[in-house]
Amino acid sequence: MKKLTLVALLAAFALPAGAFAQAGLKIGTIDMNRAFKEYSKTKDAEKKINDAKDAAKKEYDDRADAYKKALDEINKLNQQLEAPALSADAKTQKAKERDEKITSIKNMEREINEFRQTREKQLQEQAVRMRDGIVKEISDVVMNKVKASNMDLVFDTSGVSLNGVPTVMFANPSYDFTSDVVTLLNKAAGPAPKAASSPARSAPAKKP
């Protein structure tokens, strides 16, 4: 009786595997990280972000230079105020001028800090928007490929678990359709714009 129960139990566990085999599941794998890196729009987005960072850095440096110049002027006024030959009226005038510059430089310092914080937030939000848009475009192409090929399961081989272990330990390379997705993406994006070449100079006419 116990032997019959064990056989029945093993058969019950074997049923799901047999059902999956009969169903003939069509499986595919996609390396989303590779698709993201090889998509031409990703490089364009990175360039836009880097250009925006460079512009922000230049503006920040200009403000910092103006701040340093104002600070030097205050230090010079402090040195002049220490001169023993300076008259009382001149000392009062220079002290007033220095105090005004101190008030101004405090405002400059506040504006610089606000500019840095605001611009960092804007750049971060811009990068997130661009990344989300690109990921959606890739996901849409993946889903179109999945539907066209009647796939039952698709795994992202670039995914990592909370323990830092790949979620897909192994997959037959024949399941991977990343190259197809990258080709479709870049084809839809069109060729990258070429740099404008300088017009060729015509050779000077020879003298008769």
Q: What is the pLDDT of residue 23?
A: 58
Domain extents in the chain: 26-160+172-184
pTM exceeds 0.85: no
Pick from 189, 152, 185: nearest CA to 34: 185
Q: What is the pLDDT of residue 161?
A: 87
Pick from 48, 47, 37: nearest CA to 135: 37
- Residue type for 70, please? A
Taking the C-alpha atoms of residue 63 and residue 66, their distance in angstroms, rounded to an integer, is 5
- The token pair at 144 is 């179109």
Q: What is the pLDDT of residue 194?
A: 54
Taking the C-alpha atoms of residue 112 and residue 120, their distance in angstroms, rounded to an integer, is 12
In the chain, which residues have pLDDT < 50? 1-22, 195-208
Pick from 95, 33, 103: nearest CA to 70: 103
Q: What is the pLDDT of residue 201?
A: 43
Q: What is the pLDDT of residue 192?
A: 58
Taking the C-alpha atoms of residue 199 and residue 194, their distance in angstroms, rounded to an integer, is 14
